[in-house]
Amino acid sequence: MMTRDIVVAGERLTLHAQRAAYWVARRTLLVSDVHFGKGAVFRRAGIAVPSGDTDDDLARLDALIAEFSPERLVVLGDLVHGAATERSAWVERVRAWRRSHAGVDVSLIAGNHDRHFDVRSLGIEVVPDRVDVAPFVLSHHPHPQAAGYTLAGHVHPGVVVRDGWRKHRLPAFVFDRDVGMLPAFGTLTGLYEVAAAPGREIIAVTPAGLVMVGEHRR
């Protein structure tokens, strides 16, 4: 199952195995922690990682936009990974991608990594802290908020799933009582293992689709 509908704070969200969530009522696509340019940062540091991560992530965004036809795309922080210049190859690719989706309102809720680069130069609106769109608070950091249910990223949540003697570390959506966390969208991102807890809903992203591995409380 590549998509799964859940109800959070009374609103229907469609979770997608490409590590995104679609807020149906608002026609808003949500992703977090894209980390454009991370591969370039690693390669400059002498760490051998394959190129092409930016193209792969843009292609996945293209596919999600084609599937959902959103009016708005909101990135819940860390669109970019580190410092870059106008000569950085990924910068022009992202600009060209933005021009190709001029009809979609794209905004970023600034994360801790975004301070290294002026994302506005990509044609993307930047919000410094959070966006309150009832019943949700859209944020980078997963802190409870009095104004509504927090949807955030930052943590790169993941879960370990065992298949017989094999162990798989997988990205995951995590929903607690007051805070929901999206998995990192970017190709070159790590995982922070999230433990099961009472009332916590964990939905793992597997190559075959989405799998509920935590408590189903809705």
CB-based contacts of 83, cutoff 8 Å, min separation 6 = 41, 116, 117
pLDDT for the residue numbered 172: 96
Query: What residues form DSSP beta bridges with 21?
Result: 15, 30
Whether 115 maps to a domain, the answer reads yes
CA distance 83 to 92: 14
Whether 217 maps to a domain, the answer reads no
Alpha carbon 45 to chain centroid, angstroms: 25
DSSP tag of 123: T
Whether 218 maps to a domain, the answer reads no
CB-based contacts of 164, cutoff 8 Å, min separation 6 = none
CA distance 166 to 9: 36
**106: which 2 tokens?**
């794209």
Whether 35 maps to a domain, the answer reads yes
Of 50, 43, 122, 15, the C-alpha closest to 79 is 122
CB-based contacts of 55, cutoff 8 Å, min separation 6 = 93
Place of tokens 């190129």: 51
Alpha carbon 171 to chain centroid, angstroms: 11
CA distance 32 to 110: 10
Give the type of residue at 121.
S
Give, in degrees to the nearest 5, the angle at Cα 179 between 175 and 185. 70
Residue 217: its H or E element: none
**4: which 2 tokens?**
């799964």
pLDDT for the residue numbered 218: 47
pLDDT for the residue numbered 136: 98
Give the type of residue at 6.
I
CATH of the domain at 63: 3.60.21
Flag residues of the chain having pLDDT under 50: 39-52, 84-85, 217-218
**Total domains in the fold of the chain:** 1
pLDDT tens figures, 9-24? 999 999 999 999 999 9
Other CB atoms within a 10 A radius of the CB of residue 46 amount to: 6
For 179, phi then psi, to 5°, come to -140, 135
Query: What residues form DSSP beta bridges with 206?
Result: 209
Full residue range of the structural domain in which residue 197 is found: 3-212
pLDDT for the residue numbered 38: 55
